Structure 1
């Protein structure tokens, strides 16, 4: 049965800065540019904004500082959440709850990072992350996301017979999608030979298995459907939002690291919307690495456990397949905005604005955060076209 939130919140505007390797500006500037672009997309006066929210890991500008810079003198709602990509969709879900409850009228959610030119994930020269297990890992040089995910990927690949053909199929299809996306950082087609020739980063991950390090800002405007219908663009309805987890899967004793926290959360997410995986027209899976796409195909119920390899080799994840995955190219080819660009792309797909990468007759889209590794939390949204 659908939840009380279903149909009571909407996304009414999306805004981007350029996806680049060197923005040349501060994260405050990126945030403000993305927010103003989202407000312009919606046709909303900035003075109407009364809520602001972000997630970050010590790499961006706090939400209260952005509120001041926007001239908000009495914000009714703000969230400054310390957390990575697993928190991204929960941030928007919480904003949806706020507008549905009448706490705020118009909430802007943003992510702004100089993740290539300034604060590189897993880079040196900064304090270690504050997980308990870090003290046992850092001494062995086990500190960067590709290393963390490589361990999980190898366990998964050994369990289910997945190999470089399956990982490569994800990278190749998403690059093909990005060719139709004018925002994408990487648009040139790649072959399997190109994939295999890319250098090894952390076995089994090659360079083309890894998301892009990106300087970018992305913002979304969350409001009620009634208010959204008075704005410039068609409303995209929040059908369900869910988040979960609570421990990391690196060393917290998870019984099966070939299954992510998303598998526990997915039934709850679909139950809140009153639909199932078969009703979804496209999926924007959190693709920090190619492996995470395979795992989420299974854990969100689009195929059985151990069947994702065959799913992608058969091309069922391509634009002409059963479930188009990451039509914008995802983090692997568009750029890495730590989750927010997946939601923004879902909105554009459901508004029919995606041009050459448009999914035909898209009515319901799934967008996901990181599946629970490293940070230990995950989140996702089910969105649908209004009307």
Structure 2
């Protein structure tokens, strides 16, 4: 079970938020925040059941898609939080990225999810791959949209990215885009 959990590491990241007008004149190509959702769903226990987790992740998905005016087929890069191995499955199925529905995640994982493949899932390597940085998903999403991810650069279209941090019951999501709308 050790490899099912992220490991503590020392890391940092910084992001500069400004208006779209000011971003146009900056040195780096801008990436726009199309929507942000922060949530803290009430817990009845420290061990939620599957129904609660699915309800929370479904609500998070609705909030993100409605606020951004986008749907699952509009998301190119998907970087969910994966502090525990099962979390990315909950998010993948709730957000229905690449058409994945409830119970389909394992079949999806059997496909080509490499950054060079047609379904570059968690191109950052996530927290399971990098350690508990909490921000790897945001950093990678921004780099993917800018085309500056180096060997992690996806080969599919990279116009939008969806990234998250922390657990299904509390946390935040950001939808990024190469264009402001």
TM-score by length of 2: 0.87
3-state SS, counterpart of residue 175 of structure 2: strand
The residue aligned with 1:348 is: 143
Q: 1:336 to 1:251 in 2, by over 3 A?
A: closer
Q: 1:335 aligns with which of 122, 126, 131?
A: 131
Question: Structure 2 regions of 5+ residues with no counterpart?
Answer: none
The residue aligned with 1:365 is: 161
Question: Structure 1 regions of 5+ residues with no counterpart?
Answer: 1-205
Q: 1:350 to 1:255 in 2, by over 3 A?
A: closer
**Following TM superposition, by how much is the alpha carbon of 1:322 offset from its aligned partner in structure 2, in angstroms?**
4.1
Larger radius of gyration: 1
1:90-113 Cα deviation digits (max 9, x unpaired)? xxxxxxxxxxxxxxxxxxxxxxxx
Q: 2:108 aligns with which of 291, 303, 311?
A: 311
Structure showing greater relative contact order (alpha-carbon pairs closer than 8 Å, 6 or more residues apart): 2
Q: 1:381 aligns with which of 154, 163, 174?
A: 174
**Following TM superposition, by how much is the alpha carbon of 1:245 offset from its aligned partner in structure 2, in angstroms?**
3.2
**Following TM superposition, by how much is the alpha carbon of 1:371 offset from its aligned partner in structure 2, in angstroms?**
3.5
The residue aligned with 2:60 is: 265
The residue aligned with 1:66 is: none
**Cα RMSD, aligned residues only:** 2.1
Q: 1:217 aligns with which of 2, 12, 22?
A: 12
In the aligned structure 2, how far is the partner of 1:368 from the partner of 1:275? 16
Aligned length: 177
Moved over 4 A (4+): 251-255
**Following TM superposition, by how much is the alpha carbon of 1:323 offset from its aligned partner in structure 2, in angstroms?**
3.0
